[in-house]
Each structure stands twice: as C-alpha cells, then as structure tokens.
C-alpha cells in the first residue's frame, strides 16, 4: 500500500469515528424526541457519509451494511415509518455491528458473519413496507399483488468525466463501476483518453480519463445518480435511457458484485484467510478446500464435519489467523488528532517571533561588548518568553474536550438501565473542559467502571427509591472542572451510599484489617479499591466479582492522579478523580540526596517538615516510624533505597517529605529541598532501561539529569530492604 493511500485511509477511519459518534448520540436522543426530523436528517447524513466513503475505498461489507441502515433511516425521516423502541434498539445494535465491521476492516481481523447476517436480515425486514402492509391487509387482500419474479429493466448509457482531483483525494474510479454492477448488468465500458497530455506533462495525481458505460438495471435514474453522489463535484455526468424491456427473471448482474475489478490495494497486507492457512500448512488439499467453500457454512465447521481436519488443527489455524490480525492491527494503528487552525496559526506566529529573537541574538553575539550586557539579558528573557509560550501552545494542540470521553456514557447508562431494571438518567457537565489526548484515552476504562458501579451498586431499584421518598429515576452525574494546575472529574450518584459495616465485615473476612482495628471513615472507604474486594450479594454480568475498582485506582495513579471518595448513607456517593492536565510535563519538587537530584511529583506531597528529637521511634518488626501529630508513619531514608552517600544521616538534621500513594502515607528523608518546577518527562525504559523506583527522567536547568521518583516503587524497595542495583 502506498503511503499516500494509507494516509487517505487513516483520514477515512478518523472521519468514520466522528460519524459513528454522531449516529449513536443521535439515536439516543431520538428515543426521547422521536418526531425530530432535523435529528433524523443529521443521523442519516452521517450514515450516508460512512457508506459513501466505505464504497469509494472498496470496503464492501461496511458499505452494504450501512446501506441497510440508511434505508431504514430514510423511511423514518420521510415519515413512512415511526421511531419505536424496537426500531431504536435495532439501529443501536446495528451501530455496534457497524463499529465491529469498521474495526475489522481497519485491522484485518475476522468478524462474526452470522451476527452480521442476522442484523442485516432484521434491518431488511423492518424496512420492507410491502411485507408489513401484506401482514396488515391479510392474505385475501394481497392476492392481487403482481408476481415478484417479473422485473422491469431499463438500459442506460452513462458518460462520466471525473474531476481532475479524484486521485489526490484517494478515490478509486473503478469503485464507481463496482457499485453500478450491484444495481444491474454493466455491459460495454469504453475509456476515453483524449484528455491525456504529452507524456512529459502527465501529473500522476491528476485524472485525465473519461468513461462511457452501458447499464441494464431494474433501478431508477435516482438510484444511479446516487452512486455518483460523492464525486459529483466538478464531474461531468450524463445518464440517458436507451430502452426498456420485461424480463421474467431477475438480472444476474448483482451476482458477482463483491468481486473487485482489480485486486485491492492492500490485499497483500491483510491476514491470510483460514482456508489458505490450512492449505499452506499441508492440513488439507486445495480440492477439499474448494468443496468446503462451495457450501453455505463456515469453512472451519465444514472441514471438521468432513473429518478433513481435527478440531485441534482448526484451533491452531484460527490462532495463527488471530495472531496475524493482531500483528497487522499493531502495524497499521496510527494515532492522529484534529487541530483547530486557530491554534496552528498562533503557533506559526510564535515560531516567527522565535526566529526574529534568534536573529537578534546572533547579531548581538557577533559584535558583543560588555556595555551591551543589559540588551543581551533582555534578548535572553524574550527568548525564554517565546520558548515558554511555544511550549504551552504545542501542549495545547494535544488538548481535547473531555466530552469525547464522556460521549460513550449515555449509551452505557441506557444499556445498564435496561439490564438492571432501574430507571437512570445521566447528567453531564463540563464537557468542554480540555485535557491531554493521552489522558483522555487512558481514563475511559476507569470512568466506565465507576459509572457501572454507581448504576449497579449505588442506585436503588425504583420501588426502593419510592419507599425512601426519593424520585423513581436515579441520577448519575459526570462533571469535569479545573482545580489549580489539575483537572478533577467527579462521578456522583444519589443512591444508597457506601455501607460502612458491610465494608468492615468484608475487610475483616479477607484479612485486610484486624477485627478490633478502629478506623476512621477516610480509612475505610479506600478499602473498596483492594483487589478482589466486593460487597455485592450476588454476581451479575455488570459487577460483583471484585474486579474493577482496583483497576480504577491503579490506572488513575499510573497517570499521576488520585482517587477520593465522599459518601453519605441514603444520599449517595461521589468519586473524585484528580489528574494532571498532561502526561508530558509534571509539577514536581526538586530535592537533593547527597550529590544526586530527584524530582518528587507534587501531587504525591502532602507536606514537608523538619522533625524534632523524639519524633522518630524504632519498632521491632515495623522499622523506623515517625510521629506526625499523633499518627505514626513509616520512615524511608532515600539514600538507603538508592545506595547513596547522604549529607545527613540524622532525621533531625534532614528534611522529611510526607508522601501519599494508594492511600498509604510515608515519610521520606532527603537532604535538601531545592524548589518547585515544571519538568518534561523522558522515558527511562525507551532511552536506557527500566529502573525500579524511577518513573522517568528530565534534564535540569544546569544540564544534569534528574530522576523522577515513582513513590509506590520507592515504598516497595524500602519494604524489601534491598537497595536498587546500580
């Protein structure tokens, strides 16, 4: 596949993702506003765009399935059908299926053909007004209906001169002919090359060709024009009817509509079909495979039935196919982002300012005298301002509204509401709040777990809510807002709240706490984040297995964030996620231990103190503990963790940082606090190797390397009592 063609395909998949989001959001809104014609038109346009783009790229399965959806949507927007819960549910299931087809097209993975065919049949049945009218009229009234075996066909002559930009947009003119073959029999095709310039003047990205085609079809003129809809701009198109005739059988022109006129551009890069793998492995002969392909079943099932292969051999072949699909997905998966042109323009202006400043500094350097030192300092300050603003603008390019992460939850809540038999409304706020694209992609799963937890555990059934003088409909609120240099996301419900006694009983049963331990509320609530912890009385397909909440905490803390809980019995629970705006730059506190410099993430620091005599105690089996206002915290000497020679070995001479990680608090001893600063994170694993206790590295102002501490890793090393190997 050429790089240009791959680039066009990537753009297509990006656009399809946006169109799918429009379709899904529109269908969810349509359930509440079934008579909204503008909404129906918006959904239809997005589906039509997906079909057109898929058709032009030769993604036949996607185009054909979307066409079935589009037919039903067209009936709805024209008022020939009404939006019912059954229709809305069918279209939502079809949207899920379409997502699967598109993902499979992108990665080359296989799909469940039976599920696709089943949904296709359901869409066709729902769109068949004649069949439904026949059912409504009854057999006696429909007896006069003309026989469907008699089909009227017409022959058209089509003259088409594509626009010159056709190839530059990655469009394939042969795909037009493939779509015409779906409509009927495509006969004579004559290519006109009269527009071709001299050989030396040919531009490979310009289309100079024209075509004259003859099509015999049972479809009308409107159906033919629809094929050219996405290339009508700047095209010259003429469609003339030649003759009409009656035919006793349906045209067979559509029988080979799935066969491409030319091999697909990326055919060689796709995972091999299962049958090919079996033949290449010497498991079956080509003849046996051909016989299997002739039957209307999955190839693997037929071969096992015929005892041509064993189930184990089939499983091995399927595994190999899956591995090839996975490898291809990784190879072709490229991340992209759409950027507002206003942001690009500002960045270009800043680069211009930077170039001017650099030119002024170069000129000053070539004839510098000491009396010009104030001018030099002014120029350097200007350079610093330009650099910082460019940094902020570049980071801003990666910023996306968090609404892109919130958009999945209306559908999720709808499905959870139906499964749990509860009435739930979702309220979204702060969707315009911007966050780094990488962070947005990483918080999807944690937020999903929290929303599912609120729907299943938090909110009560309608009867219970009414008994407790609550509205029948439970509410889940998702809100995002800025707080200082971080972003906060809250997931709030108005349900039962966390049950203190149940959590304590479960924690004692699992050995997480002692039976006589007395814990404050802020120590009890974090217990639900322990792996395998669940107070659910029964396991459902939504929750109850004790997985999910530990994933939330682990994922959020891997992003440098924190999770906190606020709950009230009978009133509800609020989970608050506190995250950095970006993963590329963090706010950190620079500290010194001996001659080494470390950066501690500011989010982990609660306070810093210089202890007094008697604050540090040594307890057998517990190590050193420090008394901080009546609470004893483990003391970690950072020089012991990394095997360094410190300046101070006595805690009263050093500085102690009180850090928090995963609900645990520790006191970390350092020689000196150098100050707070923003640091750019560089991966240790990519540039050197993974080092335990170190989350990354950065270049400090004096050019030396500073290590960014992984607080959880440091705590684990200290517990083992073995310093990190150099």
Residue pLDDT, tens place only, 258-308 = 333 333 333 344 455 666 666 677 666 766 666 665 554 556 666 667 777
Query: What pLDDT digit, counting tens, does each position of 365-382 carry?
Result: 888 888 888 888 888 888
Exposed/middle/buried for 511, CB within 10 Å: 0-12, 13-18, 19+?
Answer: exposed
Distance from C-alpha of 647 to C-alpha of 655, rounded to nearest angstrom: 11
Range 605-609 contact pairs with CB under 8 angstroms and sequence separation of 24 or more: 605/657, 605/658, 605/659, 606/658, 606/659, 606/660, 606/665, 607/657, 607/658, 608/655, 608/656, 608/657, 608/658, 608/673, 609/655, 609/656, 609/658
Residue where the block lists tokens 């540039």: 687
CA distances from 417 to 423, 464, 542 (A): 6, 15, 11
Q: How far is CA 78 from the centre of its chain?
A: 34
| DSSP characters over 106-128 | HH-----HHHHHHHHHHHHHHH-
Q: What is the per-residue pLDDT for 208?
A: 82
Two structure tokens written together for 32: 């509440």
Residue range 670-692: mean pLDDT, rounded: 82
Q: How much of the chain is in helix, strand and coil states, percent to nearest 5?
A: 45, 20, 30
| Position 617 confidence tier, pLDDT thresholds 50, 70, 90 | confident
Distance from C-alpha of 362 to C-alpha of 364, rounded to nearest angstrom: 5
For the question of whether the overall pTM of this predicted structure is more than 0.95, the answer is no
Share above pLDDT 70 across residues of the chain, in percent, rounded to a whole number: 80
**Which strand ranges, in their side-by-side order, compose the sheet holding 486-493?**
424-429, 474-483, 486-493, 572-580, 562-568
Q: What is the per-residue pLDDT for 5?
A: 57
Q: Show the beta-strand stretches assigned E in 51-173.
A: 151-161
Two structure tokens written together for 152: 């009227």
Q: What is the per-residue pLDDT for 144?
A: 44
Closest to 604 (Cα-Cα) out of 616, 620, 586, 628 = 586
Q: Give the angle subtended at the CA of 336 by the CAs of 394 and 99, to the nearest 5°.
A: 145
Q: Is 409 helix (H, G, I), strand (E, B) or coil?
A: helix
Q: What is the per-residue pLDDT for 535?
A: 64
Distance from C-alpha of 505 to C-alpha of 498, rounded to nearest angstrom: 13
Q: How far is CA 195 from the centre of its chain?
A: 45
Residue range 94-118: mean pLDDT, rounded: 86
Q: Where is average pLDDT lowest: 114-118, 201-205, 229-233, 324-328?
A: 324-328
CA atoms within 13 A on the CB side of 269: 15
Query: What pLDDT digit, counting tens, does each position of 31-62 carry?
Result: 888 888 888 888 988 888 888 888 777 788 88
Q: Is residue 132 scored above 70 in pLDDT?
A: no
Strands 664-670 and 631-637 come out as parallel
CA distances from 35 to 29, 79, 360, 421 (A): 11, 9, 65, 26
Q: What is the per-residue pLDDT for 591?
A: 93
Closest to 47 (Cα-Cα) out of 30, 33, 64 = 64
Please name the residues in contact with 705: beta carbons below 8 A apart, sequence gap of 6 or more. Answer: 697, 698, 699
Backbone angle region of 615, left / alpha / beta, with phi > 0 → left and psi within -120 to 50 → alpha? alpha
State the DSSP code for 457. I
Q: What is the per-residue pLDDT for 324?
A: 57
Q: Where is average pLDDT lowest: 42-51, 169-178, 313-322, 347-356?
A: 313-322
Give the number of other Cβ atoms within 10 Å of residue 424's Cβ: 22
Q: Is residue 136 scored above 60 in pLDDT?
A: no
Q: What is the per-residue pLDDT for 51?
A: 84
Report the Cα–Cα distance between both ends of the chain, in Å, rounded. Answer: 46
Q: What is the per-residue pLDDT for 420?
A: 85
Share above pLDDT 90 across residues of the chain, in percent, rounded to a whole number: 10
Closest to 678 (Cα-Cα) out of 392, 312, 334 = 392
Please name the residues in contact with 220: beta carbons below 8 A apart, sequence gap of 6 or more. Answer: none
| Position 248 confidence tier, pLDDT thresholds 50, 70, 90 | very low
CA dihedral of 237, 238, 243, 244, whole degrees rounded to 10: 50
Q: Where is average pLDDT lowest: 451-465, 534-548, 570-584?
A: 534-548
- The per-residue pLDDT of the chain, averaged, comes to 79
């Amino acid at each position: 596949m050429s790089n240009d063609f791959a680039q066009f395909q990537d753009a297509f998949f990006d656009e399809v993702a946006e169109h799918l989001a429009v379709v899904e959001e529109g269908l969810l809104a349509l359930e509440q506003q079934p008579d909204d014609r503008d909404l129906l038109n918006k959904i239809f346009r997005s589906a039509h765009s997906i079909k057109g783009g898929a058709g032009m790229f030769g993604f036949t399965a996607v185009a054909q399935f979307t066409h079935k959806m589009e037919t039903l949507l067209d009936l709805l927007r024209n008022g020939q059908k009404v939006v019912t819960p059954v229709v809305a549910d069918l279209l939502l299931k079809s949207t899920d299926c379409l997502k699967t087809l598109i993902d499979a097209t992108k990665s080359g993975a296989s799909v469940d053909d039976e599920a696709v065919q089943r949904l296709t049949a359901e869409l066709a049945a729902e769109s068949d007004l004649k069949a439904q009218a026949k059912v409504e009229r009854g057999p006696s009234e429909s007896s006069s209906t003309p026989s469907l075996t008699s089909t009227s066909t017409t022959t058209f002559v089509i003259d088409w001169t594509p626009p010159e930009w056709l190839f530059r947009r990655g469009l394939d003119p042969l795909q037009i002919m493939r779509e015409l073959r779906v409509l009927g029999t495509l006969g004579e095709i004559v290519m006109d090359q009269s527009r071709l310039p001299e050989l030396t003047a040919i531009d490979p990205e310009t289309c100079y060709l024209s075509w004259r085609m003859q099509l015999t079809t049972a479809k009308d003129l409107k159906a033919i024009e629809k094929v050219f809809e996405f290339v009508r701009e700047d095209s010259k198109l003429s469609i003339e009817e030649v003759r009409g005739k009656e035919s006793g059988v349906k045209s067979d022109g559509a029988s080979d509509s799935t066969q491409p006129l030319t091999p697909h551009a990326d055919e060689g890069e796709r995972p091999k079909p299962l049958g090919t793998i079996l033949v290449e492995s010497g498991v079956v002969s080509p003849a046996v495979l051909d016989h299997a392909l002739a039957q209307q079943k999955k190839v693997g099932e037929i071969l096992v039935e015929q005892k041509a292969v064993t189930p184990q051999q089939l499983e091995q072949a399927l595994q190999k196919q899956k591995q090839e699909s996975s490898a291809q997905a990784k190879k072709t998966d490229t991340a992209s982002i759409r950027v507002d042109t206003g942001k690009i323009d500002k960045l270009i202006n800043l680069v211009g300012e930077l170039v001017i400043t650099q030119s002024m500094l170069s000129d000053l350097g070539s004839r510098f005298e000491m009396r010009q030192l104030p001018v030099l300092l002014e120029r350097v300050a200007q350079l610093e301002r330009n650099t910082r603003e460019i940094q902020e603008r570049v980071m801003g390019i990666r910023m996306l509204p968090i609404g892109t992460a919130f958009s999945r939850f209306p559908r999720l809540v709808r499905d959870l509401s139906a499964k749990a038999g509860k009435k739930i409304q979702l309220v979204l706020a702060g969707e315009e709040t911007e966050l780094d694209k990488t962070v947005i992609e990483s918080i999807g799963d944690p937020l999903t777990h929290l929303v599912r937890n609120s729907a299943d555990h938090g909110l009560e059934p309608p009867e219970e809510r009414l008994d407790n003088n609550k509205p029948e409909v439970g509410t889940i609120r998702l809100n995002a807002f800025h707080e200082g240099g971080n972003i906060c996301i809250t997931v709030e419900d108005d349900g039962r709240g966390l049950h203190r006694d149940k959590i304590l009983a479960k924690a004692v049963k699992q050995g997480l706490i002692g039976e006589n331990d007395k814990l404050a509320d802020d120590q009890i609530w974090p217990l639900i984040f322990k792996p395998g912890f669940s107070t659910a009385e029964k396991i459902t397909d939504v929750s109850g297995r004790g997985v999910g909440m530990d994933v939330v905490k682990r994922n959020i803390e891997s992003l440098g964030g924190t999770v906190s809980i606020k709950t009230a019995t009978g009133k509800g629970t609020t989970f608050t996620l506190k995250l950095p705006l970006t993963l590329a730059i963090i706010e950190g506190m620079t500290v010194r231990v001996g001659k080494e410099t470390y950066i501690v993430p500011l989010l982990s620091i609660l306070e810093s103190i210089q202890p007094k005599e008697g604050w540090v105690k040594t307890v057998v089996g517990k190590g050193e503990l420090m008394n901080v206002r009546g609470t004893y915290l483990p003391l970690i000497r950072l020089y012991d963790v990394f095997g360094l020679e410190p300046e101070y070995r006595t805690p009263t001479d050093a500085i102690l940082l009180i850090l928090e990680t995963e609900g645990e608090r520790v006191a970390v001893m350092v020689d000196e606090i150098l100050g707070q600063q923003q640091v750019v994170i560089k991966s240790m694993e990519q540039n050197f190797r993974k080092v335990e206790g170190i989350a990354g590295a950065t270049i400090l102002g004096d050019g030396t390397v500073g290590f960014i501490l992984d607080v959880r890793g440091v705590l684990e090393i200290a517990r083992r009592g073995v310093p990190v190997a150099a």
